[in-house]
Chain A
Amino acid sequence: MNDRREWPLWEVFVRSRRGLNHVHVGSLHAPDAEMALRNARDVYTRRQEGVSLWVVPAAAITASSPDEKDAFFEPAGDKIYRHPTFYDVPDGVDHL
């Protein structure tokens, strides 16, 4: 029983159609990468949700911390000049 709990966690990414990005859909447990891919097929694509799957060891993901949210993301809030819509396009410029 203990061994079962030690199966590592995997994050699952599904590409729903050609041309779209892989999108994170959830996670699952599996003993290794090959079984994780198959479990992902059975758990997350049984209703034709995808045409391609990635599995990534959850331990391999480095995530930003909620504590750092302000320092990470808030400074971008007032930099409206980073959006192309900030700039007026001069008359006579067709393609910018």
Chain B
Amino acid sequence: MSRQPTRDYALALGDDALLMAQRLGEWIASAPQIEEDIALGNLALDQLGQARTLLSYAGSLSDPVRTEDDLAYLRDAADFRNVLLVERPWGAGADGGPDFGVAMARLLVLSTYQCRLYDGLCASTDATIAAIAAKAVKEVDYHRDHATRWVVRLGDGTDESHGRMQAALESEWPYVEELFDGSFVDPTLIDAGVAMHPSTLRPAVLGQVADVLSEATLLVPDDAPVAAGGRRGQHTDHLTELLADMQGLARTHPGVSW
């Protein structure tokens, strides 16, 4: 079997984790409390760790071989394969800073999806993917727990926190459906048991999210999904801005180590 389909699959999952890590890192020193700064910093490092292993694997299957740093720092936006959900900024909260409700809504959706995904991939016939998934599933399970507790507290909190949490959820909802679009996965990978078809995760993920929203007295939004092409390299300008920040040092000083 060609290495290209597995490479592309690992790249897409790795890009999701990389950009989630970068965005989560923006919360350090901006979260509601220093305890939450540390918590989100920990989650960011978990996602970064997953990104490193996935991108290293994708790089090893590339021709010519690329390193994790090559893939993270020297690709243009059009070469990234992440979903749009993770590349967008955190919105604007009441004080003009990033919106914590948006962060928890996005974390809830992404981590619930990643839990199901990695749980399934523990049985991947590709030993490397199975090993990466086995380590990651425990990490994202905690991310899901963290997001769940905050969404329940904010949703079932004061009138103001309820309203802002519902609005945050609605801002993320149009980007949820792209997680389940499996058109980027080569069918041979599914047949060979290497990859999971994302659409098979949909009922469990949306069901679990709906349970949390119900406990939080929030409504499942009915906002229509956007036509998203992140898996094909069609990104928003937000990704370009994020990459300028994330890649600036590595591109300005090629080969630099820090």
Contact = CB atoms under 8 A, between A and B. Distances in A.
A88 interface: no
B33 A38 contact: no
A4 B38 CA distance: 16
Interface residues of B, number: 11
A38 B149 contact: yes
Contacts, number: 28
B96 interface: no
A23 interface: no
Contacts of B35: 28-30, 39, 42-43
Interface residues of A, number: 14
Interface in A28-42: 28-32, 34-35, 38-39, 42
Nearest to A44: B38
A46 interface: yes
Interface SS of chain B: helix, strand, loop or mixed? Answer: helix
Interface string A1-37: 0001001000000000000000000001111101100
Nearest to A42: B39
A35 B149 contact: yes
Contacts of A34: 149
A39 B42 CA distance: 11
A43 B153 CA distance: 21
B146 interface: yes
A46 B145 CA distance: 16
A29 B33 contact: yes
B32 interface: yes
Interface of B: 32-33, 35-36, 38-39, 42, 145-146, 149, 153
